[in-house]
Each structure stands twice: as C-alpha cells, then as structure tokens.
Structure 1
C-alpha cells in the first residue's frame, strides 16, 4: 500500500512529529509535540497508520514508513532503538552485546534485552524483529556504555559486563559452548576488559559466577593465575551447574560445579 495524500495541516503535524527522527512514536509523544489531548493524538497516529505513513509496532506505538517504501509491511530500521523506546529502563546485553563488541562471529536471530519490566510475552516479535526479554533489578545497571543509533541513545553492557551476565546465566550466551568461545575472545583480544571481571562480579554478588569462571579458567586458561585465585578465594557453599540447561554428568568438586558429561575432566585449582 502506497501512502495516501495528507492535508496541509496533517502533513505539517506529521513533519513536526518526525523532525527529531524518533525511533518509536506514541500517543504521549504526539500529544506533547502537537499540543493535543492523548485521545486525539492516538486517533491521529491511527489515521496516519491507515494512510500508510506510519507502521504499527504494537498497540499505541508506531514507526515511520520510509518515503521510498512501497508498503507498510516493513522491518524495523534499528531494533536496538526500538527496544530502548519500548522496554526502557533497559540495556542491550547477552549475545547481542557480544556481537556488538566482536566477542563472537555467531549470528543470533533475536535481540537480547535486559529490562526492569516483567512482560507477559518475553519473546515479542515487532515488525519482523524478535526480542528476548530478561528481567533484571535496577541495581544491575552497572558497566554500561551509551551508543548512538540514529538519534537514539542506547545502553549496552560493556564487554566484561556482558561476560559476567553470561556467566551468571549461560543462556544469555546461547549456551555454554558459545560462552567458552566468548570468554576466550575477551581474554585474548581485550585484556583490559578482562581485568574488570572480578569487579563486576563483586558488585552484582552472583556467587555462582566464581564457580563457573574458575572452572573454565583453570581448564582452558591456566595462565590466568591471578583471576583463578580470586575465584578460588570467593567460592561459596553449595553447588551450581556449569550450564543449567544441560543435565549434570559429574561434579567438579574443586569448583563445586556440576559439569555436563561432555565437558573435559575435572581440574584442581
């Protein structure tokens, strides 16, 4: 569907609303920018959507349709910017942050979003973009960097912070095998970031991270003696799975971590 013509007044209003190139338009945005009531703004946005100038993301939220587009069936121009608008307070983390920082060459088909919201649908698909939403407390908003996506400020976890999130929940890496590769990439290619790992673990207080990190370092990177010792000194009581998504094959007693049977033999710190 090609966009329909607009009256001079409607065209002026839409131009004013889009002047700052917002990633997502809501009735609240329109009401504030155009000086009208919330209900009137909602009706105006819906009318522009029917006319083909906006594409509905979900109820009450729209994105601009590029002027060159022959249809309103468009993909999101920048899912990160849309995530920031739709799920704030949030940051981009997990595998999406790892891709951004060059920690992996793996291509993931969804955007990993860490948010304080508790949505019913944790895997929404918005205009062909799939999001994976993970709820975190606001106290977890440390170790973040701000990047610009068009005219939108987006928060993303820095490389070391990304690894700590993954060590706390390997599912954020797409599983333990991807996590192992990303940890190796961080240690070898970004040693200054690797030096931040202990500080972030201490701030977040997820003690199982020391168990997983210590096991992986001792097995794969025994030269990381200082960080291995930090992990050993901070081992807590109880046991954790190396990857909670996989059945435990045996217990690596030195690190108090249950390891899948497919992993390498136990090592001693």
Structure 2
C-alpha cells in the first residue's frame, strides 16, 4: 500500500517511519522511497519537519534528527563521522584524524580530515558545529582503507600504513613534519608495522616526495637502513621539501630533499 490514497498517519508517525529506514542521516531520496512520494513532495515534507524543529539541515537535501533534549543546541549528532558518507560521497577519514584513531598520536585536533573523490570548491566545511578539512583524491588512490561501524553506518578510514603515506605526501594534514615523524615512529613500534607495505603503498600512491621524506626519516629517525635503502632505490628526479610549510635552506643531496636548518644533521 502506498501513502497516496490511504489515510495519512500523523507527521510524527511518518517521521518515525523515515528514521527507522534511514538511521542517522535523512535525504530527500530516502523520504521519497519510504513514503512513496515524488522528490518535490518529499522535499516539502522535509522542509516542514525542519520548520517544526524535528530535523536540522546539514547539507543540500540532507538532514539529521534533533533529539528533544538537544533541540536548542548547535550540534545534534553525537558522532560527526556519521555525516561523512552523506556529505562527501566516496570518501574516507584520514590525516591526523586517522592517526589519532590508530593511536599513532595522542594529540587531538579540532578539525576532521576527509579525503573525497568529489570535486570540492571549499577546503574547509562546517557541519553540525564540526569543521571538516577536505582534500580531493582520485579513485585510483582509494586503497589501503578500512571500514568501521559508527552507529548504524559504515565509514571508511585509512589504515595505519596508508595514514602515514598520506601525511608523508601532505605533511600539513599530519600536523607538520615533526608530528609526521612522531607518527611514523609510533607506527614502527606498533603491531601494524609492515615495511614492505609502506613501500607498496608508496608505489601505488605515485608521489616521488613520499619516498624522499620516508627514506630520510627512516635513515635519520628510525635508523632503519633497510627501509631507507628501499626508498633510495625508488628516488625520482628533482627535489622536494621535507615540509613545504617550513623554510628549508639546506639540501640533503642523498635524498634530493630540502630541509630546515635544524634538520640538516638528521631528525632533531
């Protein structure tokens, strides 16, 4: 039986049916399917529920339910990670956010790093009082991911090794090269450490700066000369900076890497 032609239940009953079907995030398509409405009618229903204070808009055509005890608050989603699939499509949690999740760092960051295959116009988005830092990634680079349950939703996150590769490629998303070096050292001490996988992921990622930074840190910070040798065998032409955000006036010729003065003798 469809909703058209049948006695309509109360708005609360209709909302309850939608929430049972959608859990954390409510979309126009989900309302249309659950209530057997066209998209225009579904959008009007959502707008009315928003006006009544039962839902809060988090993005284009996307809403979250508002618990009664949080109706006056800015953030109504307990776990902002559940917003990621709906807001950013094919995506994954990465950078310093993933590093903290995998215990590679104890440092907490206020912003959540998300890599998405969608075209992005903004690198920072606010939703539900949470700041998401966005980076575009290609489909071919969506490897080395894990699926984890957050409530009733599965969210993708970079595994520990992929997390380190990403922050080696983009030190700013790891909190800077000093913090990246700390995360690499923590990975080395963990049960997840796999030097061969680091090399494999680095090759798949396809960014020459990764092996320059990884090799330099392997040699000077980890004193892992086997890993350093594997990186040296994969050095590309040209020069990179250890951290593009830092003034780097010293050239480590062996690694084709410009490093800050305090790094010229190796990892400080």
TM-score using structure 2 length: 0.92
Instruction: Identify the residue that residue 235 of structure 1 maps to in structure 2.
Output: 235
Contact 1:97 1:162 in 2 (8 A): yes
| 1:1-269 alignment, distance < 5 Å | 8-71=9-72, 73-222=74-223, 224-265=224-265
The structural deviation recorded for 1:110 is 0.7
CA contact (8 A) 1:55 1:73 kept: no
SS in 2 for 1:23: coil
1:22 Cα offset (Å): 2.7
Question: Counterparts of 2:225 and 2:76 in 1: how far apart (Å)?
Answer: 47
How far residue 256 of structure 1 moved from its aligned partner, in angstroms, is 0.4
Residue by residue over 1:79-134, the C-alpha shift from the partner in whole angstroms, topping out at 9 and shown as x without a partner, is: 11101111011011111111110100111001100001122122111110000000
**DSSP 3-state at the match of 2:262:** coil
For 1:164 and 1:72, the matched residues in 2 are separated by 38
Write the deviation string for residues 33-81 of structure 1: whole angstroms up to 9, x where unpaired: 2110111111111111111111111342211111333426334322111
Greater alpha carbon shift after TM alignment, 119-128 vs 107-116: 119-128
Query: How many angstroms apart in 2 are the aligned matches of 1:194 and 1:229?
Result: 12
Task: Give, in whole Å, the separation in 2 of the partners of 1:193 and 1:19.
Answer: 42
TM-score normalised to the size of structure 1? 0.92
In 1: Cα distance, 2:74 partner to 2:150 partner: 22
Alpha carbon RMSD of aligned pairs, Å? Answer: 1.7
- Asked if structure 2 preserves the Cα contact closer than 8 Å seen for 1:159 and 1:193, the reply is no
Q: Does the 8 A contact of 1:145 with 1:156 survive in 2?
A: yes
1:185 is paired with a residue whose SS is helix
The size of the alignment, in residue pairs, is 260
Change (3 A) 1:38 1:108: same
Q: Which runs of 5+ in 1 are unaligned?
A: 1-6
Cα distance in 1 for residues equivalent to 2:178 and 2:191: 19
Alignment check: 8 A CA contact 1:160 1:194 kept: no
